[in-house]
C-alpha cells in the first residue's frame, strides 16, 4: 500500500494552535509565524505554558538565569507534572518500587549546582577528547554508508541517522556495539515520555523501559567503581565533584545516562542527520552546490540543518519571579516553553529564514544548541557527527530522490522534539573509482573549524 504525505495544518489565529496535535507537529512553521507576529508571548490554553517564539526574546531568556530558572520547581514530573500531578506521582512511585527515581539532570539544575556538575562534563567533552574521537566518527560514517551503497536505496533513518551517533556515544560509554538497538528502544521510550502525548498506560510502559535500562547499567556502574577503565562512563561514575565532596549517586547517574548521554548524545543528532538528507532532496540546487565543494560549504550546511529543522523544537524554563514581557504577565512559578525552532526562523534575525543558504553569514548564530550556561555540552561532538555523515554522503552518492509512495514524512508525536520516523530514498552511487578513501582525509580538517561559527 502506497503512503501519502501529510497535509500541513495552517492555523489562522493563535486560538487554533495546539502543539499536542499531530497535524501541527508535522509542520509547525505556520503556527510559529503566527505566534511570532501576533502573540510572541502566548499562554497555551491547553498546557498552560507560556510559549515564547521570537529570537531576541528567547536569547534574553536563555541568558537570564535569575528570572528564568532551570531547576525543577514544577513539582514531581516536571512539565508532565504540571498537566497531571497525580499521574506524575504514580510514575514516581513506579520508579521507587522497581528502580531508581531519576534525579534532576544537568539541564534541570541552576548555578552553582549546575556549574559544579557541568564542569565534570566539560572535562569529559574537552577539545582534546573530541579531536581524538574524530577518526572514529569518520570511519563509522563511511562504514555505515558502504554497507548499503551498492543497493541503490536505503532507509536513511534506520541505516545511517540512528546507528551513527548511537555507536559513537556507545563507544564513549563503553557499551558494546551489538547493544545499540536495545539502547535505542530505551531512548525511544524515554523520548516518547518527554513528548507528553502518551496515555497513562503508555507512560507506564515508558517508565518500565527506563527501569529496564537502569538494571542494565547498574551492574556496569558497580563494576566501574571497582575497576575504572578510562571511558566517559567511568569518569562519570568515579569523578568526585569537589564542591559536593562526593561522586554522583546512582539516581543521578541513571538520570544522566538517559537524558544527557544517550538521548542528548544520539537522539537529537539522529534527527538532524535525517532531516539534512530530506532538505537536500527537496533543494537539488543546494545538493549540487554542496557536493561540488564539501570543504567550503559543509560546515554551513550542518548549521542550516540544525537551524531549519531543529531536533529540539522547544524546552522549558520556570519563572523565578513575576515577569512582564510584551505586555503579558507571567506569574512566578509559571512554566515557560522556549520554542527554539520558532526563533530560528525569525525574519527579524535571519534573512530568508525558511531557505537553506550555504553562503549565510554567521551560520552558527542559531539557537539549535541553546545559549548561555545551558548551551549543549555535546554540541562539538554533534557537529562532527553531522559533518561526517554528510561528507560520506557527498563522497559516495551522485544523485538521490525520495522513494515513490514510501514516505509520509510524519513526525514521531512529541511536544518537544522533531523526529522523522523513516526516510526511504533511492540513489545513484558514484562509480567505485571516484569514491574517496576516508583514510586519506585529514580527520581534523572536517571538524577543527566547525565550532568557529
Can you tell me the distance from the alpha carbon of 358 to that of 434, in angstroms, rounded to the nearest whole number?
24
- 180 neighbors 163 (Cβ within 8 angstroms): yes
Which CATH code of 3.60.15.10, 3.30.930.10, 1.10.630.10, 1.10.10.10 fits the domain covering 18-102+113-446?
1.10.630.10
Query: Could you count the other beta carbons within 10 Å of the beta carbon of residue 151?
Result: 11
- How far is it, in rounded angstroms, from Cα 152 to Cα 150? 6
* C-alpha distances out from residue 336 to 267, 318, 333, 366, 389, Å: 23, 6, 9, 20, 34
C-alpha cell of 330?
A: 507571567
Residue with cell 564513549: 172
What are the contacts of 442-449 at 24+ separation with CB within 8 A?
443/134, 443/135, 443/138, 444/131, 444/134, 445/295, 446/134, 446/138, 446/298, 446/384, 446/387, 446/388, 446/391, 447/130, 447/131, 447/134, 447/380, 447/383, 447/384, 447/387, 448/131, 449/299
pLDDT at 2: 76
**Per-residue pLDDT tens listing for the chain (453 residues):** 578 888 888 999 999 999 999 999 999 999 999 999 999 999 999 999 999 999 999 999 999 999 999 875 444 445 555 678 899 999 999 999 999 999 988 888 888 888 888 887 787 777 888 888 899 999 999 999 999 999 999 999 999 999 999 999 998 888 889 999 999 999 999 999 988 889 999 999 999 999 999 999 999 999 999 999 988 889 889 988 888 999 999 999 999 888 888 888 888 999 999 999 999 999 999 999 999 999 999 999 999 999 999 999 999 999 999 999 999 999 999 999 999 999 999 999 999 999 999 999 999 999 999 998 888 888 999 999 999 999 999 999 999 999 999 999 999 999 999 999 999 999 999 998 688 888 888 764 444 444 433
Alpha-carbon radius of gyration of the chain? 21
Rounded-to-integer distance, Cα 99 and Cα 117, Å: 23
In the Cβ-directed half-sphere of 257, how many Cα atoms lie within 13 Å? 31
How confident is the model at residue 447, as a pLDDT? 44
The pTM score is 0.92
The C-alpha atoms of residue 140 and residue 143 are separated, in whole angstroms, by: 5
**Helix 294-308 and helix 268-282: axis angle, to 10°?**
110
Q: What is the pLDDT of residue 156?
A: 98
Q: What is the pLDDT of residues 36-62, one digit of tens each?
A: 999 999 999 999 999 999 999 999 999
pLDDT at 448: 40
Q: What is the pLDDT of residue 47?
A: 93
What would the pLDDT profile of 396-437 be if each residue is shown by its tens digit?
999 999 999 999 999 999 999 999 999 999 999 999 868 888
Amino acid at each position: 500500500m502506497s503512503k501519502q504525505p501529510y497535509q500541513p495544518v495552517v492555523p489562522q489565529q493563535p486560538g487554533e494552535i495546539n502543539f499536542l496535535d499531530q497535524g501541527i507537529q508535522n509542520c509547525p512553521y505556520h503556527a510559529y509565524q503566527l505566534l511570532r507576529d501576533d502573540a510572541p508571548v502566548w499562554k497555551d490554553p491547553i498546557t498552560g505554558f507560556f510559549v515564547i517564539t521570537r529570537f531576541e526574546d528567547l536569547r534574553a531568556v536563555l541568558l537570564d538565569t535569575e528570572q528564568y530558572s532551570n531547576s525543577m520547581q514544577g513539582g514531581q514530573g516536571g512539565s508532565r507534572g504540571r498537566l497531571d500531578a497525580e499521574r506524575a506521582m504514580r510514575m514516581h512511585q513506579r520508579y521507587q518500587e522497581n528502580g531508581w527515581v531519576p534525579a534532576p539532570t544537568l539541564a534541570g539544575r541552576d548555578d552553582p549546582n549546575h556549574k559544579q556538575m557541568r564542569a565534570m562534563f566539560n572535562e569529559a567533552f574537552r577539545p582534546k577528547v573530541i579531536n581524538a574521537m574524530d577518526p572514529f566518527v569518520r570511519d563509522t560514517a563511511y562504514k555505515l554508508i558502504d554497507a548499503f551503497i551498492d543497493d541503490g536505496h536505503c532507509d536513511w533513518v534506520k541505516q545511517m541517522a540512528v546507528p551513527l551517533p548511537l555507536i559513537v556515544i556507545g563507544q564513549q560509554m563503553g557499551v558494546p556495539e551489538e547493544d545499540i538497538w536495545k539502547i535505542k528502544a530505551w531512548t525511544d521510550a524515554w523520548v516518547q515520555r518527554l513528548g507528553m502525548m502518551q496515555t497513562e498506560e503508555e507512560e507506564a510502559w515508558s517508565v518500565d523501559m527506563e527501569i529496564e535500562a537502569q538494571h542494565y547499567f547498574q551492574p556496569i556502574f558497580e563494576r566501574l567503581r571497582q575497576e575504572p577503565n578510562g571511558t566517559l562512563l567511568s569518569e562519570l561514575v568515579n569523578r568526585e565533584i569537589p564542591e559536593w565532596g562526593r561522586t554522583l549517586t546512582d539516581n543521578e547517574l541513571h538520570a544522566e545516562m538517559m537524558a544527557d548521554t544517550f538521548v542528548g548524545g544520539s537522539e537529537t543528532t539522529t534527527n538532524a542527520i535525517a532531516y539534512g538528507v530530506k532538505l537536500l532532496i527537496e533543494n537539488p540546487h543546494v545538493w549540487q552546490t554542496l557536493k561540488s565543494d564539501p570543504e567550503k560549504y559543509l560546515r554551513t550546511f550542518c548549521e542550516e540543518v540544525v537551524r531549519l529543522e531543529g531536533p529540539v523544537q522547544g524546552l522549558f524554563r520556570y519563572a523565578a519571579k513575576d515577569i512582564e514581557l510584551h505586555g503579558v504577565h507571567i506569574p512566578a512559578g509559571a512554566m515557560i516553553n522556549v520554542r527554539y525552532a520558532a526563533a530560528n526562523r525569525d525574519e527579524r534575525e535571519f534573512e530568508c529564514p525558511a531557505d537553506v543558504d550555504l553562503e549565510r553569514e554567521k551560520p552558527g548564530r542559531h539557537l539549535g544548541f541553546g545559549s548561555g550556561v545551558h548551551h549543549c555540552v555535546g554540541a562539538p561532538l554533534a557537529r562532527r557527527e553531522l559533518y561526517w555523515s554528510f561528507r560520506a554522503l557527498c563522497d559516495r552518492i551522485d544523485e538521490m530522490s525520495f522513494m515513490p509512495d514510501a514516505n509520509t514524512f510524519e513526525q514521531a508525536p512529541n511536544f518537544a522534539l522533531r523526529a522523522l520516523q523513516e526516510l526511504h530514498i533511492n540513489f545513484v552511487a558514484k562509480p567505485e573509482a571516484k569514491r574517496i578513501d576516508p583514510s586519506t582525509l585529514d580527520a581534523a580538517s572536517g571538524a577543527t573549524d566547525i565550532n568557529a561559527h
